[in-house]
A and B are shown apart, each in its own frame.
Chain A
Amino acid sequence: EAQVTQNPRYLITVTGKKLTVTCSQNMNHEYMSWYRQDPGLGLRQIYYSMNVEVTDKGDVPEGYKVSRKEKRNFPLILESPSPNQTSLYFCASASYQEQGSYEQYFGPGTRLTVT
């Protein structure tokens, strides 16, 4: 089954304690991305990756890091989480197309609470 998986699905942590949210896709997609979703703000892009070893900032990258060492994996790293990073996080992947819908497949989400 084609899918994007994220772990953990729920996480409660404390300020300053480094954490990693994993994301993996089995569709051989070149493109992967992280979004955060906050009430009233919609989905905002944090980082994206066009392919292995190629990453770039989205709209809200501050406080986050990513890496793309393998095509299927795109972990999101919070080196020193703060309460304003409490949010619902989604990973997504897509097959790069110069034209077309660029349909993105989303993971189930990770609900993060930083106290």
Chain B
Amino acid sequence: GQSLEQPSEVTAVEGAIVQINCTYQTSGFYGLSWYQQHDGGAPTFLSYNALDGLEETGRFSSFLSRSDSYGYLLLQELQMKDSASYFCAVRGPNQAGTALIFGKGTTLSVSS
């Protein structure tokens, strides 16, 4: 089956760097995505990795190692507005890979 593991909570201070890890088990891999969700709001897409390596988008970067079934989201120069929940997600397991399976989420708390 599909499963994703990520820490439930992470805390950091403004200006710091934080890494949120995600390990996954999946039958058929299309790539690892990350979503951000502010309290009670709609999840929004952050990044996607299909191949090994680092993808950078501004202050956020995402990394993937397919051989280790592992990825992480790196947030730099943390700001208070980065306090949110972050979900990793993989496609599958149906034939077309259209189902998106989410991890349980990591709550990031940024303090001043």
Contact = CB atoms under 8 A, between A and B. Distances in A.
A56 B99 CA distance: 10
Contacts of A98: 96-97
Given A90-B43, A109-B41, A104 B100 contact: yes
Contacts of A102: 30-31, 33, 91, 97-98, 100
Contacts of A99: 30, 50
Interface in B89-112: 91, 94, 96-105
Contact of A43 (B41, B45, B102): B102
Contacts of A48: 98-99
Interface in B17-48: 30-31, 33, 40-45, 48
Contacts, number: 70
Contacts of A44: 102
A31 B98 contact: yes
Interface in A54-78: 56, 58-59
- Most B Cβ at <10 Å: residue of A45, A102, A108: A102
B18 to A, nearest CB: 19
Contact of B98 (A90, A96, A101): A96
Given A88-B40, A99-B50, A106-B44, A45 B101 contact: yes
Contacts of A107: 42
A45 B99 contact: yes
Contacts of B48: 100-101, 103
Chain B at the A interface: mostly helix, strand, loop or mixed? loop
**B-side interface size class:** 20 to 34
Contacts of B99: 33, 45, 48, 58
A31 B98 CA distance: 8
A98 B97 CA distance: 8
Contact of A40 (B43, B44, B101, B104): B104
Instruction: Give the 3 A-B residue pairs with the shortest CB-CB distance, closest first.
Output: A101-B48, A42-B104, A106-B42
B100 to A, nearest CB: 6
